[in-house]
Amino acid sequence: MKRFIIISLLALATLPMLACAWQESHNYYLFSVCGGDDFRDRVDKTCDNNWKEYLGITENRWRYYDADDIIAAAQRKGDVLMVSYVKNLEKYLECARSAQNTWEYPTKEEIAERNKTLQEVRTYAQGKVTSRLRSQHGLLLMRCNMMLGRHQENVTFWEQTANQFINSVYRDMMQNIYAGALLRTGNADKAGELFAEMGDWSSLMTQYYEKRSCAAIRQQYLANPNASVLPFLLQDFVNNTQEAVDVDFEAGSAGYLQGKLFVRDIQRSEGEQMIKLCGQVISEGKTLTPALWQSAKAWIEYLYGNRQQGISDILAATKMDGTERQKDNVRVLMLYMTAMQAKPGQAFDDYLADELEWLDNKKQQDSHYERVKDRLLHQALTSKYSNRPELAVALLKASYDYDQVSYMDTMKVENLLKYLQYRKSPAQTALDRYLKANQDEDKTDMNDLVGTKYMRLRQWDKAEQWLQKVPLSFYNGKGYAVYAANRNYHVEPWLKRQFLKESVEYADMEWKVESNPKLDFVREIQRMEGELNVLSGKALQQRCYDLAACYAQAHFTGDCWYLMRDGKSVMDTLRVNEADLAARCRELLQKASLTNDFQLKEKSLFALTYGYLYTAQWQKRVWSDEKLDFVPEVDPTSPHYKAMANMTQFVKKNATRISPYVSRCDNYLQFAKVYK
Amino acid sequence: MERKGLRTWWFLLAVLTAGSCQRQERRVQEMPDQENCVYYWRTQLQLDSTERAFLKRHHISKVYCRYFDVVMDSAQGPMPNATITFNDTLPKDIEVVPTVYITEDCMHKRHEGLAEKLVRRIRQMNETNDISGVRELQIDCDYTARSRRPYYEFLKEVAEKWRETSNHTSYLLPLTYHLSTTIRLHQLSMAPPPVDYGVLMLYNTGDPRKFQERNPVLDLRDVVPYVKRLGGYALPLAAAYPVYQWQRTIYGVHIEHTVEADEILRVKQAVERERPGLSHSIVTYCLDKENINRYKPETYEEIYHH
């Protein structure tokens, strides 16, 4: 059957909408006691398998429900009842589809027609609820009733007839519709229990959206200490507590502050009330699943910074009763807390290897464990293994983690080489065996990355050794190929910026580079730098100037930034593992500016005023509360100011010979006005 | 063609008349009418008594009502999402402007037929839900340099489809608007979009990470760098101000970003000083009981002061 289309309970509530998208973070929820196998996914899958079996096909398809195929198969089998069922089911599904978010918004007539069709299908189904396909027809009847708003009839039909049908996916779906009907006819508590037993988290969230506080959970517990809805409410509360604390973590690490759809801010006082409630529940002994409450207490304690209490609580939880899922949850929390707190060493490595294997197995069944592993990696393991960088990289790669790229990109080149060496060496520990079994071959990427890292350090000979192994096709596939194909690092950026036309920059085509742009640059710089030792006089000064232009272009603010980095942002700064190309550029320009050649001197002095070569400009704009505006503030001590002053003095001395690129430069003219 | 010619004539007449009796300060055409407006941004149209009283008290003549979002579906392309359900009606004297929020990734390239589908859906929503007197619509999209061209082409198509399917006489009237879009501050640096006017979004101006330095909802210091672009921005503009609260928890402390009334008014003063026409049409984001109670009625009167 096609997706189990329910006129969702979600329609009952006005839920917050996404005003804007957010970036994926690593602050995934760890506390999960409700199971990721959502009711809708489960029934969808079972229905699909039923159709596959009915069709008798073995090939893999995305979906097996296809009305035409099934009718044809039913006709071949002489299954008249199935033919009529599927035809009517199709009529119902068409009505359900038109009520959803499609481009075709229904007309009044279509709505009336839809109701008429639903009524006809309903009458048909009602006449077949004692047939061989009674469950399917019962479901069809209840679906029509639901869309027609005949909820009380659904309550009656379930209680008097359908609940006696044999267990099947259709019966489960009928029960789900029954729960929705109960909610709509004023029997919310019973509806909630049924939704929880079925694992229909979406409907539960809608129903309990406004009832998720500690006080509401206490009330629920007092009414029934083993209510099926309690794990769901507890999970929601704990994860919202985590959310509040995780935001601190994100803010502390300068990450993006996140928004999530069902977040409810939990004040610390409320979190502490929950800790007390958990303690009370365990001591009263009325719950059949103390591990659930104990792990909730442990995690909240831990999140609030009471690390030792958290660990002691989670250790206690490992010995308590709970469902399989709740015990897995205890294991996850135990792993995370241990990874955060334990001392590095062989014992931890061995424990980790076992737990990673376990997580890998679990994540085959439920993506929750994939997220657990992601959080574990980013918040605990990469920092824990910072002194063994080869293991940190191997862990990221073994998890096929997206952030491995930026991690490797910013690490020291020696550490990356350690990782490459580690990859080749034989496994000695359980952790080695786990990691080495999960490393991918990425020689070209590594050759480029190591070569680029040496470029950033201006170690041209080493860079060349690695970059010459990189084929041209590698660069043609890069996002920066458009810039590499259209820009030239010899162009002096202070005289000409190489902006690309929109039609070029956003052209829907793959740009090709004619040669390896990094290798070309490396070889040329190597040659030019090498010749500095043999040149003298004007030739040397000219060479200094030419080299300076290349460095300015390769700088992260230059037009050829792609030589050293994979991407560009206005937020970019000089990184710890990089040589300061701007400083080298200024040094070369200073040498060039000593020339007696007027034009070269003018160009060199002018180049030294190029703002991108400095971290602080000669003038900054600061906010004035008095003027309610930004006002300029000159900093005469800044190196940029001094370069501007040198230029100005040069212009004064040579007023008649000055080139237009100087006399018309707005930045220079602005400076000249304030310079005395 | 005939309609277009008539519109052009009326337009020229209006400009000449205005030019003869007013000092011509700038070439940029401004919003002609003084109007008070609100955004309505929920998934169900249902007003309570406070919200109805607000509409009346502040002479709200136009509600920009979010009809649905358009989001990118990897299999089906741009699809409608979170469609509003109409459980209530707005007072009869208030003009409804169907507003559609489109995620930026939908505009990375042209999607054949999208404009037509969007216009048809809006028209049908109006008809099915007995919403009459709709003359214009608004598209909200945080377009960037990458998406600008496809977005502008899309807007042209929307305008064309809207005009083609329009069955009322507003196209014969001078200075009647039919299509608008939201303009974020960073978008002022680009060429204006091909619409009748823009609504300048004077909110969400700050960096949420620097919450200790600036209010991320609105801070004059974040607006000022863009103010100078307002004078020459060649599109009539309405101004939209925030009255909402943004709640979150940072370092364990519950933070509520509420913009002080004074800050809203300082921003209003700053932008209107640069471009007086921004006082003509004023919008608040968004209509909600909590937002109404957040500020004194006098504050709203000052925000809506023309």
Range from A507-521, B55-69, B240-254 carrying the lowest mean pLDDT: B240-254
| The predicted structure's pLDDT at residue B284 | 98
Q: What is the dihedral of CA B114, B118, B119, B121, to 10 degrees?
A: 140
| The predicted structure's pLDDT at residue B245 | 84
Name the residue with higher pLDDT: B114 or A366. B114
Share of chain A above pLDDT 70, in %: 93
| The predicted structure's pLDDT at residue B27 | 55
B142 near A CB under 8 A: yes
Contact assessment for residue A198 and residue A39, using Cβ atoms and an 8 Å cutoff: yes
Neighbouring CB atoms inside 10 A of A508's CB total 5
The model's pLDDT over A547-562, given as tens digits with 9 standing for 90+, comes to 999 999 999 999 999 9
Q: Identify all chain B residues contacting A19, using CB atoms and an 8 Å cutoff.
A: 41, 101
Taking CA–CA distances from B84, the nearest residue in chain A reads A14
Share of chain B above pLDDT 90, in %: 70
pLDDT category at A19 given cuts 50, 70, 90 is very low
Contact partners, residue B269, CB within 8 Å, separation at least 6: none
Mean pLDDT score, B189-201: 96
> How many helices (H) and strands (E) would you count in chain B?
8, 13
B86 near A CB under 8 A: no
B224 near A CB under 8 A: yes
Taking CA–CA distances from B263, the nearest residue in chain A reads A628
Share of chain A above pLDDT 90, in %: 79
The model's pLDDT over A32-56, given as tens digits with 9 standing for 90+, comes to 999 766 899 899 999 999 999 999 9
Written as one string, the DSSP assignment of A139-155 is: HHHHHHHHHTT-HHHHH
**Which residues 8-37 on chain B approach chain A with CB closer than 8 angstroms?**
none
Mean pLDDT score, B49-70: 97
| Prediction ipTM score | 0.87
| The predicted structure's pLDDT at residue A37 | 64
Distance separating alpha carbons of residues A654 and A168, to the nearest angstrom: 95
Range from A93-97, B5-9, B284-288 carrying the lowest mean pLDDT: B5-9
| The predicted structure's pLDDT at residue B22 | 39
**How far is residue A108 CA from its own chain's centroid?**
42
Mean pLDDT score, A314-332: 97
Mean pLDDT score, B48-71: 97
Of A298, A291, A295, A346, the C-alpha closest to A320 is A291
Is the CB of B128 less than 8 angstroms away from the CB of A107?
Answer: yes
Mean pLDDT score, A469-498: 95
Q: Identify all chain B residues contacting A507, using CB atoms and an 8 Å cutoff.
A: none
| The predicted structure's pLDDT at residue A571 | 84
Cα angle: A320, vertex A323, A329; to 5 degrees: 75
On the question of pLDDT at B30 being above 90, the answer is: no
Q: Identify all chain A residues contacting B208, using CB atoms and an 8 Å cutoff.
A: 256-257
Amino acid at A574: L
Contact assessment for residue A232 and residue A221, using Cβ atoms and an 8 Å cutoff: no
| The predicted structure's pLDDT at residue B211 | 65
Mean pLDDT score, B204-221: 79
Assigned token pair, A386: 């910072």
Neighbouring CB atoms inside 10 A of A572's CB total 13
On the question of pLDDT at A386 being above 80, the answer is: yes
Written as one string, the DSSP assignment of A294-308 is: HHHHHHHHHHTT-HH
B208 near A CB under 8 A: yes
Domain ranges of chain B: 2-11+25-303
Distance separating alpha carbons of residues B52 and B22, to the nearest angstrom: 38
Distance separating alpha carbons of residues B213 and B220, to the nearest angstrom: 12
Distance separating alpha carbons of residues A54 and A59, to the nearest angstrom: 13
Contact assessment for residue A561 and residue A554, using Cβ atoms and an 8 Å cutoff: yes
On the question of pLDDT at A486 being above 90, the answer is: yes
On the question of pLDDT at A357 being above 90, the answer is: yes
Under 8 Å CB pairs connecting chains A and B tally to: 87
Mean pLDDT score, B150-167: 93
The model's pLDDT over A251-284, given as tens digits with 9 standing for 90+, comes to 444 333 333 444 566 788 899 999 999 999 999 9
Q: Which residues pair with B77 in a beta bridge?
A: B73
Assigned token pair, A282: 């365990």
Instruction: Find which of A63, A113, A257, A502 to mutate to test the B interface (most B CBs within 10 Å of its CB).
Output: A257
**What's the fold here for domain B2-11+25-303?**
TIM Barrel (3.20.20)
A17, A111, A251: residue with CB nearest B69? A17
Distance separating alpha carbons of residues A653 and A12, to the nearest angstrom: 79
- Quick check: helix, strand or coil at residue A615? coil
- Element (DSSP H or E) covering residue B86: strand B85-86
Contact assessment for residue B156 and residue B196, using Cβ atoms and an 8 Å cutoff: no
Q: How do strand B35-40 and strand B60-73 relate by DSSP bridges?
A: parallel
Range from A9-13, A417-421, A628-632 carrying the lowest mean pLDDT: A9-13
Q: Is the pTM of this model over 0.80?
A: no
Q: Identify all chain A residues contacting B128, using CB atoms and an 8 Å cutoff.
A: 105-108, 111
| The predicted structure's pLDDT at residue A245 | 73
Is the CB of B149 less than 8 angstroms away from the CB of A502?
Answer: yes
Q: Identify all chain B residues contacting A3, using CB atoms and an 8 Å cutoff.
A: none
Residue A174 zone, left/alpha/beta (φ > 0; ψ -120 to 50; rest): alpha
The model's pLDDT over A395-437, given as tens digits with 9 standing for 90+, comes to 999 988 888 888 999 999 999 999 999 999 999 999 999 999 9
Distance separating alpha carbons of residues A630 and B228, to the nearest angstrom: 12
Is the CB of B248 less than 8 angstroms away from the CB of A247?
Answer: yes
